[in-house]
Every structure is written in C-alpha cells, then in structure tokens.
Amino acid sequence: MTAGGGTIAAFGLKYQYMATIEQFLRHLRGNLDLLPRVALEVEPPVFAAGGAVDDIVDFGFLTDGIATHHYQVKSSLNPAENPLTPAAAREVLQRLAFHNAQDFALYTNKPLSPALAHDVTVDNRRSPCAGVVSYEWSPALIGVSQPDLHPTITVDSRGRREIRGSISALIRDFRRDRQLSLGEITCDLLVPILLEKVFDAAASDSPYRIDALEVVELLAMPDARIAKIVGGFDWGLPLSGVPHYASTVPRLAHLAKIRSEFPDDSANRPPRIILAGHTGSGKSVVASDYCHLDAVSFAFMCWLDCRDAAYLDSQIRDLVLQLTSGTPVSDADIAPVFTGLLGRHPGPWLLVFDGALCRGDIEQYLPTRGHGVILITSVNEIGWWSDSTVIEIKGFTSAEAELCFRAYSGLQENEVDDHVVVEIVESLGSIPLAVSMAGLYFKNTQGSVGELAPQYFADLAALDDSLSIPPGFNRTAFKAVQHAVATLATDGPTGHGTSARAVLEMGSLFAPEQIPLNLMLQATVPTIKMDAAKAPTPSEADPALRRGVVATLRTQSIARRTLRTGESQSPTDETVAVHPLIHQILQTSRLRALPPGQLQADSTVLMHFLRGWLGSLRVGGDFLGTDQIRIHAEAVLAIVDAHEPLHSYGLQEQRVYAYTKALLQAELSTCHASRGRYDRSIHFARAAAATLRVVGTEPAANAMFVPILTNMIHDLSFMQVSPDVVAAVAVPVVWGIEAVIADSRPAYQDLGYTFAGELRFWLTRTASYQSAEALRGPNEILRRIIDSDPRADTRPAAQNALINDLYNARKFEDLGRLIPSLRADADPDTHIGLAALDIVVQLRTGSTDDALIKLYELIELDPHAGYLSHSLIEALSKVNREIHRIIHEGDSVDSRISGVLAVIAARVATLQSS
C-alpha cells in the first residue's frame, strides 16, 4: 500500500520501541545477576556541549543509576532503497560518543552503503542472532580522539515478524524461569503489553525509567490477567480499515488456532480460515483482535465489508488502485487483477472478508497463490471449501462471560459475589454481545449489581416478545440488547452523548455498515433550516465533536469507528458501523416509538443530505464514497417505501417530503446511469416521477418532472430501445416542457428551453430515431419550441450545435480554442467527451504526437466500478470513427494512427462486456 507521512512516522516509532524491548530483554538475559540494579530509560534527555538538551539517545540502560548503554535507532519502511551512508552514521556516532555511556551503538534496519561497508569490520561478539550483524568503526574515522571507544553499528535485516518472534522467545525464557505457561499466544500477547509500557514511558513529560524487576514481574502475569489487560487496550487508529473493538476478553484459543494456520515461508497457497457462528457470538471481534495482535507480522492488511456486493466491488477497486499506485484497470479485469497482485506480492498480507454469506459472494476475489492469509467471518458454517479451516465461534465460556461482564460493568475483583455474576451471565446464554450490553447497563446505573439485578430482569421480562430473534440467540439475551438500546445514556464523559445518541437513532434508517460520521453530524444538529432546492455539500464536522461522539460510542459498545486510509481524502472516510442485530433493534424500536409524522420528518432530512452528498461525490469523482452513500440512500428509501403512506405533520411537510424524495430518486437514477446500469437508472427515474404525482401539476413538480424523464430517455437511448418505447416517455415530457415554458417566471422558462434542446438531441441521436414516425410529432414540437427561444444562443444545445457546425465546416482551430471554455464547471462525463473532441482536433491539426498521448490517456482511463463507462465508450467510438475518416481521406497517413485502432477496439470491447 502507498505509505504516507503518518504511516512512515508510525513505522519508525513501532520499530524503535520493538528494538528497545528486544535489546533490553537480551541485556537482562545476559546479566541476570544485575536484575535488581538495572533499569531501562526511554528517550532520556541528555546534555550536549553548552548544556543544551540533546535528543540523540532513543533508549538506554542504567546500572545503579549510571548510564551504561546508549542507542539511537535509524529505520526505513524500504531499507533496501535507503542504505546507511558514512555521513549519516558519522553524525550519529560522533554525538553519541560525547556522552558518558561506556557502550553506544547506532541500531538500524538499513543496509550499509558500499563506502561505509568498506570502512567497518564485523564484530562477532555483538551479533546475537541470525540476521543481526554488528560492525565496529575506528574512532579515528569518525573524528573521535579517544582510541578506547568502540563506535558500533548494528544492522538488523530481519522483518518485523521475526523481531516479534525473537521478543516472544525471550519472554518465554523469563516465564520458563518462573515455571509459568509458555503458550505461543500468551507470550505474543505480552509483546503489545510491553509496547504499551514503552509508549507510556516515551510519552511521559519527564525522564521515565522502567526498572528491570518491574518488567520481569509484568512478564510473569497469569493468562487470565494477560487477557484482561490486552482486552482493555484502545488499539488506537485502525490499521488499513481494521475496526476498533474494546474486546475485554480475547479468545486465546481462537487466536492461537488462527495463528497456527499461518503458512511457512515456502507455502504459496494462502490458507482460508472461516470464523463461523450465530449473530452476536463475536466473530468480527475475534478477527479484529487477531489483526491487531499480529499486525507486525504482515506487510499490509485489507478489511473488506461484504454486506453489499456493489460496495465490496468498490472496495476491491480502491485497494487495486493503492496496490498499483493509481494505475488504471478496466472494470472487467478487476477481480483477476486483484488476485494477481496479491499472488505476486512478497507479503505477508492478511485479507479479511467480514460478513460474507457464502463462498460464491467472494470467491472471485480470493487469490489461489501468494504469501498471506484469508480470514472470513460468516453466520454460515457450511458450504465452504474442503481445504479451508472452519472455526466455530460460540458463546463465551462461563469464565470468559464473567470476565467480560466484570470488565464492562466496571466491577473490581471480589467486589460482588461470584454467584450473582454467574446468574446474570448464564441467564444471558453467555452470548458476548448481550453480556457486554448488560455490563454497560449496570455500569451506567446507580446502585450495586446485587441490588439492581432483580429489577433488571423484571424490566427484561416486560419487554416485547414479538420481535424476530435470530437463530441461536437466547431470548433473554435478545431482550438484554433491546434494553441496552432503549436505555442509551443521553450524555457521556465527553459531553457529546446527545449527539452520539442522535447519530445512532437517525442512523438506524441507514444500512448498518459504513455510516458516514460527518454526514450524520451534519444531519442531526438540533435545528436544521432546509431548502429542498439547495442540496448540502459534503464537509467535515468539527474534529472535537467527532472525537467526542466516537469516544461516547466506544463507551456504549454499540457502534464502532472505522477509518478508510489512502492518498486521497474524503469526508466519507470516517464512518461508524453498528452490529446488524443492534441495528435491527434500534430501527424497530425507533420506528415503533416515533409519533405520527416524525418518520416523514426524519427521512426528509436524511434524504436531503444524502441527495446533496451523492451528487457532489459523483461529480467530484469520489466513486468509492458515491457507492457508500448510495447504499444508505437506497436503505432509507426502502424503509419509507415499506411504511408508506406516511403520516405527515401538515400539507407543507408532505410537499417538501415528496420533492426531497423525488430529488434523491432522480440522483440515484443519474448515479446508476453513470455506471451503465440503465435498468436501475430507469427504475429510480420512474419512481421519482411517481413520487411527484403527490404534488400534482404545480409548476415546481413540472420543473422536476421534465429533467427526470429527459434523463430517462437518455438511458433508453443508450439501451437502444425501440422508437415506440421512447415515444411513450417523450410525449408527456414534451407536454411538461410546454407547461414550464408557459409559466411567467423566467427561471422556469429557461429550464423548459434548456431541456427542449436536450430532449431533441436524444430523440435524434440515431438514424432510426430520426426516421421513426412515432417520434416525428415530439421532434416537430421541440423544434418549434427551440426556434422560439429568445436566448437560444446561450443554451447547452446551442453549444452542441456550434461544435457540430465548426466540425462540419472543418474549422478545427476554432474548435480547439472553444474547448477550454467548455471544460469550466464540466462534470466527469462531459470531461471525457471533451477529451475525445480535443483528440479529434489534434489529429486534424497535425499534432499527432499530442493526439496519441491524449488518446492513450483516454484508453487507460479507469471507470471506477463502472462509473463513466458509457461516456468512455462513446468517446472512444467517436475517436475511432474519426481515425477511419482520416485514413479514408488521406493518401499518406501516419502508421501510428492506424495502428491504434486495434487498441481502441479492444478497450471498447472490454468496457462493453463489463
């Protein structure tokens, strides 16, 4: 994946702190007799000449309070491309030599440059393991006059996974000394605990040292204590889209099983591991825990949400663009390109498909070769590949459930009788989701667990029994989740509880995954002044508000935050996701609790913001964000359609609702047309027209009706339907245009004249349409309207006519001068058409080199997930026809021009087959 500045900085710190831990543990193993006297100092301030603070030391060791070892770490994400040079090494070692530590070294993962390698000698005494080589440099060569000093450069060529394994092995040695469990996962879990310890030390405002005995005691923790500490971690920012979960009880056996399936270095077939179980059993939490636990073992991770096929396709395409640094790939080739990229990648990589229903939904995206692991979560336990490993994720064990409940409820050990906790978790079926939610209830309610438990179960018994409960889900557990949702705190430690609750409640009308946080915060402010004619544009909410809402959601364990990373930034990158079961309960409970009219009011606001974001993202070329918003727009429409006719607060509210809904349906129609999905486009266009019938024939309705059906005719034209079918839609559009033009308001007249030209263009697009008897009447009326237009020269149709006139008159220089002005404010589809026109102009004016460069750029253009594909086909077809004309007209034609025809034909064929 492409690394940005944040990624590089994060790698540097992670590598530095892992080197710190490994070197300190090695130092302790070699000096066990000094354990009570030794300490680690992390990034200690030392003083240079003149008393200034020198930040040269990244970590050091003390014995009896006196510095004995000083290290500085130099690392690189791509060490082979960044060798260590003599100048860089000399600067570090000169500064380290100034301080009083008897032993100092530059520690790096960079190879030595040839010049530096020539000056140093291998020091076999300091090379502790394979892959780590220490070199000694003469003091004289670095400009130090003390001959008894031994300037050292230690080069560590191991990968992060090998370093992690080395630390685990050292931890195992310490635990063996104390006759403690030596399980691989136990030792591995202690690595992030140590890292957290070192991070805390580095973040201290004053010099912070960690005594050796403190480290040894930390390494001697029993398994249950390790699980509790690791489960309480805030794992920090997501890794490549891996979600954050506060998993208070890591399922050690499951994590160990996943780890055991990791292939050795010689394996070339990625193992397929399926985590299967009922809703709420914790499958995604186990997958997330594994990602964070073993993050250092992978070159990169991909977490893919599988709940929507179209969105999965967009996510795959986005990953391909990152893996190829933006190299365009045709739509039809996306799956084999993705699997081929992973097959060739040196890895190791981790590919997580979260929420896949069956193998058929994801099989095309699974590489059959490559150095990596494929992890799948699913409610389906059967039908997977015969060579895959299916790990059944069941409810908690009794011990895990008790630990989870205590963690979420904030109970300390021995604070309440064990039998009280056991009774609670057993009644909930030890289902992770329900146990955590119940724990939160007791944490947020005044009183002891023993006092509150009877009333809690009485409240559960009184809840509605009519909700559909998923298979395998305990009825009491289901009610516990329902109860937790109903008693969400309206405030929280950040003071943003009200906003968090609004995001969850309004978000229940969306799809459960990838809910855009910025959009929800825009749409859930206490007071919204809404003008249906003016769509809101995407923007980012105040960072403090976003952080506060996310922090509150984490305390509720109801929603999780994800962050899409990449070179391009979008307001849709930061999202929250709600567990599907919780989302179902939120939605059902809210719909039942809303007073008459409120569903219409809420959906109007959401549709208004969705329409604005959908249009802006599509026009701006953010097609992954467009697909994300499309999913939620269709989810909201599905809910309101299922409940119509909706109660309304009044006639005006009903009108605004109808217009807002029709505008969203029209935008979805355009969105699907942009992907070449004309059947879906026509479906939404018809739905928008039907929605407008609520407001009858008032001028505003006509003004919307005309562009909606004109766009539908555009789609029908590209589908090459018969003239009779087109005429059936065209006749009412012509009537609408006549009605709009008859309005006394100039804005309505302008709209009518504009779409008269647009409609006539589509009704005469092909020879069959031009000669069709069924279209003769509509075309004649449109011609008269256009002729009567007092501002005909300013319409888009006039620009098209001017382009055609200049082309037919062969005034290509004039046509070329016109193109820059046409590009201003053009949408992505229009830009593609103008690119084709520019190529034609270059070919006709003798600029063959420029024409071919631009033509190959057009051929290589990537219509993300099918967006813009129909415009690209049209553009390439126009260039293709022009080249044929040039060849037919000319005696001597550049051979390169005729040679590109096969390339164009192949590209068009690929686009048409996608």
Section 887-910 average pLDDT: 78
Question: Treating both helix axes as pointing N-terminal to C-terminal, what angle do 723-741 and 699-718 enclose, rounded to 10 degrees?
Answer: 150
Using a 10 angstrom Cβ sphere, with 0-12 exposed, 13-18 middle and 19 or more buried, the burial of residue 715 is buried
Q: What is the mean pLDDT of residues 341-351?
A: 81
pLDDT at 824 over 80: no
Q: What is the reported pLDDT for 637? A: 92
| Cβ atoms within 10 Å of 493's Cβ, excluding its own | 11
Would you say residue 493 has pLDDT above 50? no
Q: Is the pLDDT of residue 55 over 60?
A: yes
Residues 576/518, Cβ–Cβ less than 8 Å:
no
pLDDT band at residue 636 using 50, 70 and 90 as cut-offs: very high
**Is the four-CA dihedral 738, 742, 746, 747 of positive or negative sign?**
negative
Q: At what angle do helices 828-844 and 812-823 cross, to 10 degrees?
A: 160
Rounded mean pLDDT, 24-40: 90
Q: Are strands 46-47 and 53-54 parallel, antiparallel or unpaired?
A: antiparallel
**Per-residue pLDDT at 676 exceeds 70:** no
User: Which homologous superfamily is 238-392 in?
Assistant: P-loop containing nucleotide triphosphate hydrolases (3.40.50.300)
Band (pLDDT 50/70/90 cuts) for residue 727 is confident
Amino acid at 799: Q
DSSP state of 513: S
- Evaluate the omega torsion of the peptide bond into residue 348 and state whether it is cis, within 30 degrees of 0: yes
> How high is the mean pLDDT of the chain?
78
SS3 string, 186-229, reads HHHHHHHHHHHHHHHHHCCCCCEEEEHHHHHHHHCCCHHHHHHH
Other Cβ atoms within 10 Å of 504 Cβ, number: 26
- Inform me whether the pLDDT recorded for 233 exceeds 60: no
What's the mean pLDDT in 519-545? 82
Mean pLDDT for 885-902 is: 78
Torsion angles phi and psi, residue 345, rounded to 5: -70, 135
Average pLDDT score over residue span 323-339 = 67
Where is average pLDDT lowest: 320-334, 685-699, 784-798?
A: 320-334
In the structure, what pLDDT confidence band is assigned to residue 226 with cuts at 50, 70 and 90? low
Report DSSP letters for 610-642, one per residue.
HHHHHHHHHHTT-HHHHHHHHHHHHHHHHHHHH
DSSP three-state, residue 736: helix
Q: Give the side-chain half-sphere CA count within 13 A for 583.
A: 19
Q: What is the rounded average pLDDT of the residues 816-831?
A: 77
Question: Per-residue confidence at 376, pLDDT binned at 50, 70, 90?
Answer: very high
Spatial distance between the Cα atoms of 500 and 586, rounded to a whole number of angstroms: 13
Please, where are the H alpha helices in 694-795?
Answer: 699-718, 723-741, 746-763, 767-771, 776-787
Residues 355, 359, 360, 366, Cα dihedral to 10°: 90
d(CA 793, CA 684): 33
- What is the C-alpha to C-alpha distance for residues 518 and 538, in angstroms, rounded to an integer? 8
pLDDT at 47 (0 to 100): 65
At 175, is the pLDDT very low, low, confident or very high (cuts 50, 70, 90)?
Answer: confident
pTM here is 0.55
Indicate the pairing of strand 132-136 with strand 121-122: antiparallel
Token code pair at residue 571: 């307001």
Reported residue count of the chain is 914
> Would you say residue 802 has pLDDT above 70?
yes
**Biggest CA-to-CA distance, the chain:** 103
Burial 849-872 (b: 16+ CB within 10 A, else e): eebbebbeebbebbbbbbbbbbbb
pLDDT of residue 490: 47
Per-residue pLDDT tens digits for 839-873:
888 888 888 888 888 888 888 776 655 566 777 88
Residue 118, pLDDT above cutoff 70: yes
**Residue 399 to residues 341, 404, 426, Cα–Cα distance (Å):** 44, 9, 11
Q: What pLDDT was estimated at residue 320?
A: 79
Closest among 156, 171, 153 to 29, alpha carbons compared: 171
Of the chain, the percentage scoring pLDDT greater than 70 comes to 81
**Residue 232 confidence (pLDDT) above 60:** no
Structure tokens at 316: 């795959």
Sequence spans of domains, the chain = 5-227, 238-392, 398-489, 813-913
Give CA–CA dist 584/478, Å, rounded. 11
In the prediction, which pLDDT does 489 show?
47
- Lowest pLDDT segment from 255-264, 295-304, 367-376, 440-449: 440-449
Rg (CA), the chain: 33
Structure tokens belonging to residue 655: 């009108």
Q: Higher confidence at residue 645 or residue 699?
A: 645
Neighbours of 212 (CB within 10 A): 23
Give dist(CA 474, CA 481) in Å, integer. 11
Separation in Å, CA 283 to CA 192, 274, 354, 510: 22, 9, 9, 23
Neighbours of 752 (CB within 10 A): 22
Residue 70: count of CB within 10 angstroms of its CB = 24
Percent composition of the chain: helix, strand, coil (DSSP 3-state, to 5): 60, 10, 30
